[in-house]
Structure 1
Amino acid sequence: MRRLIAILLMMTLALPALAQDRPRAGLMWNRSGLPATLPLVVQTLPGRDYAVFLSPETGGDPVMAGYIHGGQFFRLLVPPGTWVVRFAHGADWQGEDALFRPETEWTEVEEPMTFGASVARKHGYIIRLIETEGKVRVAAAGSLDICQGLTVTTELEERDENDRRALNLLPAPGLQDLRDDFDTFARSDFNRLPTPGLRRLDIDLDTRSRVCG
């Protein structure tokens, strides 16, 4: 009896640990050695989770992986290149080695996807997965281009009266006192002429991104 109670207690303690093992949605790892700056958006239905893997089109091990909670908005920044995009999916995550085994299923985008960027545009993709007759398939896969614009805002700010008075009392730039009597020069009206540059120019740079039309 004591042994049965001990087993039940161990199972009860293990349940929260299993729930915590479900990865947080987002990037799992990036082994490409490249900066991840290009958008990949995936739309899914609730009922199962997904692990997305990006592999080189020439073959080889995946270079990036992300975890998707089914039914939730998912956006992942990926590195430039042409990648094969595959999804492992199931209801019971068992770690990166076992995935959702023994119920792990796979869905793959038919054509490799090329991610890239120019000066003012980032080229990525949006993928929509649906489930029909118990099978997950790619319903749509299309381009997602992000345009970047630079806005420059300038503003002229007038000096206040205190600044004007302080500047007007300063010696005009580039003039030298050629007279022996410095006190006479300092009191002269010539030295009290308004100093140019009484306005200050403020410049604001604002980079904004939007989905290209």
Structure 2
Amino acid sequence: MGGIHAFTPMRRLFALLLMVALALPSWAQDRLPAGLMWNRSGLPATLPLVVKTMPGQDYVVFLAPTEGGDPVMAGYIRGGAFFRLLVPPGTWTVRFAHGRDWQGEDELFGPGTEWIGLDRPLTFEAGVARRQGHIVRLIESDGQVRVASSGPLDICQGLTVTTEIDKRDENREALNLLPAPGLQDLRDDFDAFPRSDFNRLPAPGLRRTETELDTRSRVCP
């Protein structure tokens, strides 16, 4: 009997942990993964939208045409976590639905769903060396979510060219490599002209070059 009673505290602890787990809010288990939900714009999404939020609620961001109509893109945001979404070029009306209990795309966060929108549309565009995105910061104050700040996020793209040159093989002629047919005749003909970088024929062992292009992006200063 003593062995049975020895496990009683452990069983009570397990039962307590089980009750706590069952009492956790269902939204913590049913939340969607953060990121793109859908893109119905028909355009490539290449421009950054960064949203900073506070923990406690989740959000869905919607992008819609400024002239009205259904949203063309949606993304799910987990409150308090870093969020970055690539969006298509254009000028879009941006709105956020937020709440705690995710009910699916039709019901969103159920009867407790609340909405907040930006005062002005956001323009996303790309140039040769610069991509223009936006960063939005949402905060919760006195139980109300509001837009704390909204501003441009410009990404500069730099192109780096790396060239590697092989060393000239000074002993190449020792390999008895024969020149192409007629090459010597061409050289004899060119002897009548002044030697320059424009009319000098390449000699055996010409250096070989390899060029690599590296495109990197960074936040513009």
- Report the TM-score, using the length of structure 1 for normalisation: 0.78
Residue in 2 that maps onto 1:190: none
TM superposition shift of 1:160: 5.5
| Offset of residue 175 of structure 1 | 2.6
Counterpart of 2:42 in 1: which secondary structure?
Answer: coil
- Cα deviation, residue 97, structure 1: 0.2
Distance 1:28 1:208 in 2: 27
Task: Tell me the equivalent position of 1:202.
Answer: 210
Aligned residue identity for 2:178: P
1:80-131 per-residue CA deviation (whole Å, 9 max, x = no partner) reads 1110100000111000000001110001011011111111110110000000
* Whole-angstrom distance in 1 between the partners of 2:148 and 2:30: 30
Deviation at 1:177, TM superposition (A): 9.6
Partner deviation per Cα, 1:38-86 (whole Å, 9 max, x = no partner): 0100000000100000000000000000000100000000001110100
- 1:171 matched residue in structure 2: 178
**Kept in 2: contact 1:42–1:126 (CA 8 A):** yes
From 71, 74, 91, the counterpart of 2:83:
74
Q: Contact 1:84–1:112 (CA<8 Å) still a contact in 2?
A: yes
**Amino acid of the structure 1 residue aligned with 2:110:** R
Gaps of 5+ in 1: 1-11, 179-193
The code of the aligned residue for 2:213 comes to: L
4+ aligned runs moved over 6 Å, structure 1: none
Distance 1:75 1:58 in 2: 25
- What percentage of aligned pairs have identical amino acids? 69
Q: Map 1:157-168; keep pairs closer than 5 Å.
A: 157-158=166-167, 164=172, 168=175
CA distance in 2, matches of 1:106, 1:80: 24
Distance 1:176 1:60, change over 3 A: closer
Deviation at 1:169, TM superposition (A): 1.7
Q: Deviations over 1:144-202 (max 9, x none)?
A: 0001011101121115578x267x42211243799xxxxxxxxxxxxxxx943432111
Q: What amino acid is aligned across from residue 148 of structure 2 in structure 1? A: A
Q: 1:176 to 1:196 in 2, by over 3 A?
A: closer
Aligned length in residues = 183
Q: If the length of structure 2 is used for normalisation, what is the TM-score?
A: 0.76
SS of 1:158's equivalent in the other structure is: coil
